[in-house]
Structure 1
Amino acid sequence: MVSFADIQQAQDLIAPYIKRTPVVQSSLLNAALGHEIFFKAECMQTTGAFKLRGATHFLCQLKKHDALPEHIVANSSGNHAQAVAYAGALFNVPVTIYSANNISPVKAAATRGYGATLLTFDTRLEADAAVEQASKAHSTVWIPPFNHPYIIAGQGTAALEALKQSDDIDMIATPCGGGGLLGGTLVAARAINKHMQVVGAEPLAANDAAQSLRAGRIIPLSGPAITLADGAATPSVGEHTFELLKSIDDFYEVSEDDIIYWTQWLQHLLKLHIEPTCAMTMQAVVNWLAKQTSKKRVMVVISGGNISQASMQKVWQHDRLSTFPSLSLAKELPQ
């Protein structure tokens, strides 16, 4: 199990390679909701997402133990692909990425731009099977997108950093795909303040984590997920991340309509390029805040800012800015 000490060590190891991203606010949003909302802008991280933290930490650990391989392979829908490609270049190790054909074009282009070879397959499951086979080659290391202690500890540094930048946070929220970010956040948050609430959000159209939490066992999606939150369209959580997710305080499934609404509003209010995957977390925040009886200070991890032209067109097809944010938008019950 990943410990707080692991996250602290990860923070020290990756410090030379990553950005210390800012925490931002919107006075308009704070006034509208009646609470203080802080946003950890990992969309401004190198490669445009928090994923660089985990990938870099993985390779830092290998270097520390004089175990850097001759070849790195990874499977990803986009942000992890870019992170591994970039991190591999930092340590001068060739990288091959395995992905489904529906990978976001902007993420695919960036992955190749960082020097990696990108191989695509009809489905995510085929890509996952191919990377597993490739990982058996001599001096090859597979860097998984979430289900590894090194990855979880690396992702947890985003929360550790954010909670050092803003005091007295009552709740911290992140999106959930495979659970690496949410799991690492939970470990960091609980170590800093055992009373801090930790909340997760997942697309209703890719709700394997919610299904798994309800059943008490890992339940994978029955097929490919169709959601604008492509960063959270993972087939299932992993055994490492699931054990951590069992301890979260609230978990919400978010509709595509709400994902679009909050992507528009956060891009508008924060003036940042924000992915639907992390924008959906605001619906979970509103749902949680609607239950509170006193003013709260909430940290939201804006996990990434890599969004394709096609996704952006879908997001802005209909203007949602005429409906101003308020706690009346709360609708879904926690699972």
Structure 2
Amino acid sequence: MPRFLFACDSFKGTLSSARTAELLAEAAERHFPGCGWSAVPMADGGEGTVDAVVAATGGEPVTARVDGPLGDPVQAAYGMLPDGGAVIEMAAASGLPLVAGREDVLAASTLGTGQLVAHALDRGARGVALAIGGSATNDGGSGFLVALGARLLDARGEEVAPCAADLGRVAAVNLSGLDRRLASVGLTVMCDVDNPLLGEQGATRVFGPQKGATPEVVERVEEGMAVYARALSKACGRDVASVPGAGAAGGLGAACLAVGATLRPGIDTVLDLVGFEGLLRGTDLVVTGEGRLDAQTAHGKVVSGVAAASRRAGVPCVAVAGSVDEGYRPGDIPGLAAAVSCVTRLEPLERVLAHAEENFASAADRLFSLLTIDLP
């Protein structure tokens, strides 16, 4: 009897990863009675990463009271893992949804994200994996650094507030008080953009407007960010501003690089955290899935990451997707043998979402029905 591994992302707003596994298992057992299967929740380093990794590893959810993007206290959750590592989403402390209707790029700070990392270190974390998507901030990661012991100083040696509004006043970044534990535990940053810190493709010009910045604010912050970047690069002894990914999360990528972090694609980090390579042993087929297969799927999404890992292990991989772009062709995603769409006809989006579970179950049934074909 075949053995299947189910490794789907959640279908945002409709199906959890756990529910997709249940529906796939029902279809598999219907067409392959007595088959074996296992499931592992997946995420790509964005929303839901902490939940997926904690569920997959049997980790412990932890909640900490930290400063939100605009300074008001928030209860932010992260995960402590059985191997002693911690997994954190910066969006839990510094995310855009926390300031919905109150967006303020000039005032927003990553202070709470640094506080979460410090909280994990206080709990004995032996490694920290930080997902940095969904930020409300454009402070160059200055708040993150201050929370971990760094100091921002102006030309007179006085403290500068860690926010975008004051970046132009930063004459020096003092890292001498940085939490020494960072160097020993290691910080891995889940980053899926390659934007530098400055310039037309940098943090401020590309992502600032998405966070409510007007053209005038964008120019002001860009000028301040250039001043801050010089001070930060001098402090850490390397040009962090030009490194691909430095502009992620409003420049948090640059701050993380300054303290010795490693930037990696989110899905690759998640696959390592959940021990995906080990789960492939003895598996005959991997079934993965996410809400949509399109041109972006090949760039750091769950399906592409799972398919690539399966290919390296010599295990075939197929996908169930909420919808499949009409331009998708077999071979577009290396390692993915086939894809089945949940949506088989044009319908209003509201109806598709309302029947998401029914549509997924139908797609799973079609998939396993096709797998029963035994050609000579």
* TM-score of the pair, normalised by structure 1: 0.29
* TM-score of the pair, normalised by structure 2: 0.27
Structure number, greater radius of gyration: 2
Larger RCO (alpha carbons 8 Å, 6+ apart): 1
